[in-house]
């Protein structure tokens, strides 16, 4: 199912954003379904990567002057939380993100949530253009030790949230209060910590990510089938983090994001999508100044004059030339 098309069909997407449909390069299911830890009540989480309009990429070609005009721009839209919708009795949450914003968020900032869109299995890809497959084929370019630190920081923040809930006996998600009552802490959030640690290990050792790696352990923790009292759960996480720290010192992973190869990949994606300059100019209304228009008209007039001169029939000979026999 193409969820962007479905949102448009059902009237859930604003008309001014309908251009997403033609510019979508990759749409994929992420979240618990991609991790293999979902149940019958799980939401369907979607990430859609969208090629920006050409006027967003190169506004000067459309008459916008940097520092003077308000430059057209779009980076991100979402339908989540209170804005999530239902298709066939299934809760759907989706976010659309600009390709350029995606590159920056994943490669430079190391966003764990967005990164997984590159590593979903093929059967979870719900729409893809050649650019989308280029991204997935080159997914390893986005991995670096910077990403390790981002994943680790995210895992620690999740563990701290679990600990706060354990201490207070309350969760910031009322729908999961039953977990606090039955297990003393938020098992679902703790399962995310374990999943993130599994992904970090793969990044450091394999320079790749299988989102379903060791998913049976994660799923068992999430649903209470594999239960650790909180103190043991915390010790387990700290021990695994120590192991990961050791691995991070031995990894062959690039220490910093591979800026130049990523820059080239982004340029290739834009070129693959828009093609030649003439095709790019058709993506919006080209700005033409009065001077440019007058120069074009002058050139056209000159060309027409030359054509007229070449095609004009010869003038008849004068009587003098007709009958002068002195030649």
| Structure-token pair, residue 271 | 């070129």
According to the model, what pLDDT value does residue 170 have?
A: 86
Q: Of 197, 194, 302, nearest to 243 (Cα)?
A: 197
- 265 close to 107: Cβ distance less than 8 angstroms: no
pLDDT average, residue stretch 65-76: 90
Q: 3-state class of 100 per DSSP?
A: helix
- pLDDT tens-digit readout, 20-32: 999 999 999 999 9
Please give the mean pLDDT across all residues of the chain: 88
Using a pLDDT cut of 90, give the percent of the chain over it: 69
Separation of alpha carbons 229 and 206, rounded Å: 31
- pLDDT tens-digit readout, 290-315: 445 566 667 777 766 765 666 666 65
Separation of alpha carbons 145 and 250, rounded Å: 11
Q: DSSP letter at 89? A: T
According to the model, what pLDDT value does residue 275 have?
A: 87
Dihedral through CA 239, CA 245, CA 251, CA 254, nearest 10? 140
Position with higher pLDDT, 128 vs 279: 128
Separation of alpha carbons 307 and 304, rounded Å: 5
Chain centroid to CA 188: 26
This prediction's pTM: 0.82
């Amino acid at each position: 199912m193409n969820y962007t098309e479905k949102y448009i069909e059902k009237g859930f997407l604003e008309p001014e954003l309908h251009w997403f449909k033609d510019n979508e390069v990759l749409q994929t299911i992420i979240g618990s379904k991609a991790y293999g830890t979902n149940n019958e009540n799980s939401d369907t989480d979607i990430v859609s990567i969208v090629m920006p309009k050409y006027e967003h990429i190169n506004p000067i070609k459309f008459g916008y002057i940097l520092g003077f005009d308000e430059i057209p721009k779009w980076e991100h839209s979402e339908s989540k939380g209170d804005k999530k919708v239902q298709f066939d009795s299934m809760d759907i949450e989706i976010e659309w993100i600009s390709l350029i914003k995606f590159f920056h968020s994943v490669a430079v900032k190391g966003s764990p949530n967005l990164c997984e869109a590159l590593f979903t299995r093929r059967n979870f890809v719900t729409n893809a253009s050649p650019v989308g497959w280029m991204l997935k084929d080159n997914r390893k370019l986005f991995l670096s030790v910077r990403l390790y630190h981002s994943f680790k920081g995210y895992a620690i923040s999740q563990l701290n949230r679990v600990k706060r809930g354990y201490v207070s006996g309350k969760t910031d998600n009322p729908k999961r209060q039953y977990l606090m009552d039955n297990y003393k802490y938020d098992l679902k959030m703790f399962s995310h910590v374990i999943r993130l640690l599994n992904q970090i290990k793969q990044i450091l050792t394999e320079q790749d990510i299988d989102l379903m790696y060791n998913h049976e352990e994660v799923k068992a923790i999430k649903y209470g089938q594999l239960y650790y009292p909180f103190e043991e759960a915390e010790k387990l996480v700290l021990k695994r983090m120590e192991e990961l720290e050791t691995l991070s010192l031995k990894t062959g992973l690039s220490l910093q994001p591979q800026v130049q190869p990523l820059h080239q990949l982004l340029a290739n994606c834009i070129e693959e999508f828009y093609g030649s300059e003439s095709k790019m100019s058709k993506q919006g209304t080209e700005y033409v100044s009065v001077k440019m228009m007058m120069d074009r008209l002058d050139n056209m007039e000159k060309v027409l004059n030359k054509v007229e001169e070449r095609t004009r029939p010869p003038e008849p000979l004068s009587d003098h030339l007709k009958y002068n026999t002195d030649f």
